[in-house]
Amino acid sequence: MLSFGQYKFSPTSLRYSKEKRWSIVECIGKMPSLQNIGQGAENIDIEGVIYLNNLNGLNQLNSMKEAEKNQEPSTLVDSLGNVLGQFVIARLEEKQTSYFPSGLPKKVEFNLNLRSYR
């Protein structure tokens, strides 16, 4: 279970990456050198599924879309209570499959890309 601000979900998969920043220094007659210029951003890709047995799951997804538009940072916390830091939603994708007669999806798969905010 993860908590991202007011949103709580159990991901089906999670991928973490941290960028390193390097500058290329050109040298005459030699191979270019690399110089470390500091830490880069942390990225977390979260995949999950929402089964819409009730409208709460759909409301949460719509609320996450609004948070993506506002680009406000939120705190990411894991199931052990460890604070992973402040992140913003860089990308939110959804895939709807299998629909109720009313037109609402029965199942929504989502991919959430979070980027560290400092």
pLDDT at 55 over 70: no
CB burial of residue 70 (10 Å; 0-12, 13-18, 19+): exposed
Lowest mean pLDDT among 40-44, 59-63, 70-74: 59-63
Per-residue confidence (pLDDT) for residue 66, from 0 to 100: 80
Give me the domains of the chain, ranges plus CATH numbers.
2-116 (2.40.30.200)
Per-residue confidence (pLDDT) for residue 54, from 0 to 100: 60
Helix segments in the chain, DSSP class H: 55-70
pLDDT at 87 over 80: yes
- Cα–Cα dist 63/7, whole Å: 9
Question: Do 11 and 46 touch, CB atoms closer than 8 A?
Answer: yes
pLDDT in tens, 35-49: 999 998 899 999 988
If one compares 60 and 102, the residue with the highest pLDDT of the two is: 102
